[in-house]
Amino acid sequence: MKNLLAIAIALVVFGGSVFAEGYRMHSSKSVISPKRVIGPPAPEEPCFTYDFIDLGYVYRNQGPFWAEDGHGGGIDFSYGIAGPLYLTASYDYLDTKYEFGWRPGGTTQNVAAGLGIYHEVAECLHFTLEGGALYSDIEIDHVATHEDWGWYVGPGVRAKFIKGVEIFGNVYYGEIRDDEGWSYNTGLVIDVTHNVALKLAGSFDDDAETYFAGLRFNF
């Protein structure tokens, strides 16, 4: 009887020690939290992109006494090609009336295409330099057609002092139709979404004032 009691006590002690060890191991595993995998920080979005298309309405105050104001549409294009280099181009088409007694209609088409380079002065401040070729086609119904080629070159600036709002400006010197001179443009680009923005701009020279209102699509 004493032997049976001793055996029973030994089994209880052994079983209890095994259970306690198993519980300790299980508890120690449960409190160990898995390691967090921390990857590299996400890259910050640049302030400016040079890959975009602008589409919009164009109004031009023609300036010369024999031409009325013109209305039409315009496209501006920019595409980054390598590092700070980018391609730039623009096109606008305008309908107008001309003061020749019977007020004939007419159209004006203007094309510019060239190369640009930018320099990052600060995080949200770029200086640019652009230059290229100009083409102009003026058709006056039953009167005349004028086609001319020219060139332009000049500096510019792009700045963001408020998140989502870009201010830009350019000064160009060029020649077309045997007429040399300065032209200026300035405007705002206001982000609507990540890839779409509202663009308002004005361009001024000795002969005309041109205003643009439209959308910018980044790609």
Taking only the tens place, the pLDDT of each residue in 17-72 is: 444 444 444 444 444 444 555 555 555 788 999 999 999 999 998 765 566 788 99
CATH class of 52-218: mainly beta
Query: Which range is least confidently modeled, 15-24, 36-45, 93-102, 110-119?
Result: 15-24
Distance (Å, whole) CA 175 – CA 153: 10
> What's residue 31's pLDDT?
43
Distances in Å between the Cα of 57 and the Cα atoms of 3, 146, 147, 159, 205 are: 106, 24, 23, 24, 19
Distance (Å, whole) CA 120 – CA 82: 15
Distances in Å between the Cα of 146 and the Cα atoms of 32, 48, 136, 141 are: 82, 38, 8, 12
> What's residue 218's pLDDT?
98
